[in-house]
Amino acid sequence: MKKRLFIIQGIIQFFVGIGAVICGVLFILFPSGRLTGMPLSLLEGSPFSNFLIPGMILFLVNGIGQLWAGILSFKQHACSGHTLAVFGIGLIIWIFMQISMIVGWHWLQYTYFFFGVIETALAFLMRKKLAEEWQ
């Protein structure tokens, strides 16, 4: 069961990480959002004039961070549950921040919010399983 949890969390982290790296790079290279189909008007009322800073955060935190956490999961590293919790909660916060700054919902936001919830739940399940093993 424990090995299966590591594999599931690693797959989710790689899925989220790869998507975030790709979108983050597109926002960094093209801060106007034209390649992603995101008009700058979505940022009205936000502290950002273009997608450069959000793209950098997306690339580093949800991209590189999730990929790093996924590697720890596949290696079944002892701290992978903690990193999973951090990045799962981070993904939930990222989506909440998007919603508070951008008007409207998109199906991808529902999807990634769901992944954040799953990551966080898996982290607590993993912690419980590891604690049972140590006793």
Q: What is the DSSP track for 12-40?
A: HHHHHHHHHHHHHHHHHH-TT-TTTT--G
pLDDT at 108 over 90: no
pLDDT of residue 62: 95
CA distances to 2, 6, 19, 72, 134 from 78, in Å? 12, 10, 26, 8, 12
pLDDT of residue 49: 92
Contact 36, 23 (CB under 8 A): yes
pLDDT of residue 6: 87
pLDDT of residue 127: 77
From the CB of residue 21, how many other CB atoms can be counted at a distance below 10 Å? 18
79-92 b/e with 16+ CB inside 10 Å = b? Answer: ebbebbbbbbebbb
Residues 51-106 pLDDT 10s: 999 999 999 999 999 999 999 999 988 788 888 899 999 999 999 888 887 766 77
Give CA 26 to chain center in angstroms: 16
Residues 15-66 pLDDT 10s: 999 999 999 999 999 999 988 888 888 888 888 999 999 999 999 999 999 9
